[in-house]
A and B are shown apart, each in its own frame.
Chain A
Amino acid sequence: MTRSAALLGLVGGVTLIAVAYVGVFATGTASPWMTWVYMIGTSTTMLAMMVLGAVRGTGGIRRLLMPFAAIYMLLIVGFSAVLLMPPESAESNLWLGLPPRTAIVLYGIGILPLLLLPLAYAFTFDSMALSEADLARVGELRRLREATRVAVEDAP
């Protein structure tokens, strides 16, 4: 179910980006709606790719649901805010030394996931990515393959 949703998200995201490109080629310029479509397509594609990689078999993403949801919201809300907020001027307020829209891009989209995703990966690694049991299963597979190869080579 989760895998299918991730695949659907991936195909949908890539299709949105393609639609934006078609729009730009058709009109010769990037109108605001194309930028919005491209932004949603890119954010969805990136998230769907991560979910597709994280999901195991027919299982879900369990403890990764919240980090992934947070990242998706961060991308969509962050880029939306940047597209909607007024442009910078000499009198703009500064957020941590940067104009607000730029601060959202650099600190929000550029730095927040940098802490969240690697930690989410590490703290779910044993239960969701690779356990000792998984390694044992792969080891058994390797021994089986090796034995088959030796048997084939030894055959008269």
Chain B
Amino acid sequence: MTVSRAMALLQTAELPPLTQPVIVAVAVAYFAIVATIGMWATRRTRTASDFFVAGQGIGLWPLAIAAMSATLSGFAFIGGPGLVYQIGIGAVFIILPVSLTNAMGAWVLGKRMRLLAEVRTMITVPDAIGARYDSPFAQGLAAIAILIAVIGYMATNMLALGLVIDAIFDTGLGAGIWIGMLITLAYSVSGGILAGVYTDVFQGSLMALASVLVFVYVLEIGGGMGGMSRTILASDALFLGPWGKLSPLAALSFFFVFGLGSLGQPHVIHKFYMLKDPRRLKWYPLIMTSALFVTLLLYVGVGLVVKALVARGELAPLASPDDATPTFLLRFTPVFLSALVFSGVAAAIMSTVNSFMSISAAALTHDLPVALGRRVTNELLWGRISTIVISVAAALVAQASGTLVAFLGIFGWGLFASTLVPALAVGLNWEGATRAGAIASIATGIVVTLLSETLAYFKVYSFPTGVTVSGLSLVASLLVFFIVSWLTRSTASATLPPDVRVVMEI
């Protein structure tokens, strides 16, 4: 269960009450700033291109910080440190590939997706698949996979946002979910992705600042890395081993799925379309990697220091691993810093939800009609309507039951990875990929992920220790992609439009 929770990047446990005046005041100020940015962006959103890809006018720094914000959900601040506290260093394998993934993403996708947007009108990630294989069907299938994954992902994030708002404002969980959804929806539906990007810049900066400050306290209170290590080794050496309490295979499986799978996360790679000048991609990996590294210091540090404090007897063992961050902050850091982090948690969740709202609305109003041979006449209006419909649906799911949310939440990352990595990441770099291969791999990703997760979740079948469904489905869809493309290789050049071929040659 721990592994599947980690694969889902879930944050569904209640937080302790945070209703202190400073925390409430900082949270109110934070929401006011987000609302102001949303209003500013609304005045600049006039077309569907503005709404879905910010009119391809975003600079490098906002793009990198926004991509970082969208990558990290509230899991990085609450669930992640809790997982480190629970299973030790093994939990770090979820974020370990960050050292590779941003440069890999720039090489594999950054340039090609941005150049595709130069030669064609590109609004969505499935647009790139449709263009690459000259196939509206493949585009529609990718959009369906995105919609399935997004509803669950959004529901888990809205539940997490509801928990944070409830803890800060004492609203009750149900009201917290709807308040959080309405605030995010307000700026998303009016200002579209433009509002999303600039609130992400603010939110990402807040997250990075909060993380660095907390890490300073971690080192001071824990007695440095050496002090924490000595304490933990004396009481629980396995915890501090390289795999923590996971098997080596499970830890490596995290490395594979969160490494290669990063190439299939539409809410992040979609942002490549938005860059104003393609040549500015040059410094994207450095900025994005540095920002992620700084922001993830809290993830590792808090889990370790809380474990050390418990081992020293300075803290009682936690009732729930997700209490690690709130307990450490409330007990050992100034209240203003706690307030900053809790606003940072809300920031992380809202930036992710906003990105999901945008890509799912685009899938509904743009990709599915294209797959059916139709065009929506007013994509801006319908984009806004779709954003509302999807958000309400996700909030209803979030409120329905914890079991349903947990079940839907585990699909997210793995479904994105298994359906988009072969067709998009490999396909944009291999002229031998075929339309049939792409369609077969997307279908394999959907079927294997949904079937395996359902069997595992309802305990119809127990996967052997160390085997993750996400890893299994990613491998299956990649193999199907290669095999079917090879079997249909005579059609490869026929399914590669000339302009896309030029983009792939560069």
Contact = CB atoms under 8 A, between A and B. Distances in A.
B126 interface: no
Interface stretch (B132-140, B283-291, B391-399): B283-291
A21 B475 contact: yes
Scoring A21, A90, A104 by chain B CB atoms within 10 A of each residue's CB, the highest score goes to A21
A105 B96 contact: yes
Contact of B100 (A99, A104, A117): A117
B504 to A, nearest CB: 9
A89 B237 contact: yes
Interface string A9-39: 0110011011011001100111000110011
A90 B141 CA distance: 53
A117 B103 contact: yes
A24 B237 contact: no
Contact of B464 (A15, A24, A50, A88): A24
Could you tell me the dominant secondary structure of chain B's interface residues?
helix
Could you tell me the dominant secondary structure of chain A's interface residues?
helix
A126 B280 CA distance: 11
B217 to A, nearest CB: 16
Interface string B403-441: 000000000000000000000011001101000000000
Interface in A94-124: 94, 96-99, 101-102, 104-106, 109-114, 117-122
A120 B103 CA distance: 9
A105 B253 CA distance: 15
Given A83-B248, A88-B237, A97-B229, A18 B479 contact: yes
Contacts of A111: 99, 293
Interface in B241-295: 241-242, 247-249, 252-253, 255-256, 259-260, 263, 278-279, 281-283, 285-286, 289-290, 293
A135 interface: yes
A39 B242 CA distance: 14
Interface residues of A, number: 74
A89 B286 CA distance: 37
B103 A52 contact: no
Given A135-B278, A141-B119, A50 B107 contact: yes
A90 B286 contact: no
A89 B249 contact: no
B465 A30 contact: yes
Contacts of A99: 229, 233, 237, 240-241
Contacts of A11: 482
Interface stretch (B108-116, B208-216, B357-365): B108-116
A84 to B, nearest CB: 12
Interface stretch (B143-151, B169-177, B466-474, B487-495): B466-474
Contacts of A121: 103, 106-107, 282, 285-286
Contact of B233 (A29, A39, A92): A92
A132 to B, nearest CB: 8
Contacts of A15: 479
Contact of B502 (A14, A96, A102, A141): A141
A54 B230 CA distance: 43
Contacts of A113: 99-100, 103
B168 interface: no
Contact of A110 (B92, B430, B467, B472): B92
B481 to A, nearest CB: 9
B108 A25 contact: no
Contacts of B248: 30, 35, 39, 83
B421 to A, nearest CB: 9
Contacts of B467: 21, 24-25
Given A30-B247, A105-B242, A118-B286, A125 B281 contact: yes
B136 to A, nearest CB: 18
A56 interface: yes
A89 to B, nearest CB: 5
B506 A134 contact: yes
Contact of A45 (B240, B256, B482): B256
A132 B242 CA distance: 45
Given A21-B467, A83-B248, A122-B286, A97 B99 contact: no
Interface in B70-114: 89, 92, 96-100, 102-104, 106-109, 111
B100 A71 contact: yes
B120 A145 contact: yes
Given A35-B249, A110-B96, 18 more contacts: A17-B471, A21-B472, A30-B466, A41-B256, A42-B259, A50-B108, A87-B241, A92-B237, A98-B225, A102-B242, A105-B89, A109-B96, A114-B290, A121-B106, A125-B279, A130-B115, A137-B502, A138-B118
Interface of A: 3, 7, 10-11, 14-15, 17-18, 20-21, 24-25, 28-30, 34-35, 38-39, 41-42, 45-46, 49-50, 52-54, 56-57, 71, 79, 82-83, 87-90, 92, 94, 96-99, 101-102, 104-106, 109-114, 117-122, 125-126, 129-130, 132, 134-135, 137-139, 141-142, 145
11 contacts: A7-B430, A11-B482, A18-B476, A18-B479, A25-B464, A45-B260, A52-B429, A102-B89, A129-B111, A130-B279, A135-B118
Can you list the 9 inter-chain pairs with the closest CB atoms, starting with the nearest?
A97-B225, A53-B108, A53-B107, A117-B103, A118-B286, A118-B285, A114-B99, A30-B249, A125-B282
Interface of B: 89, 92, 96-100, 102-104, 106-109, 111, 115, 118-120, 224-226, 228-230, 233-234, 237-238, 240-242, 247-249, 252-253, 255-256, 259-260, 263, 278-279, 281-283, 285-286, 289-290, 293, 300, 425-426, 429-430, 432, 464-467, 471-472, 475-476, 478-479, 482, 499, 502-503, 505-506
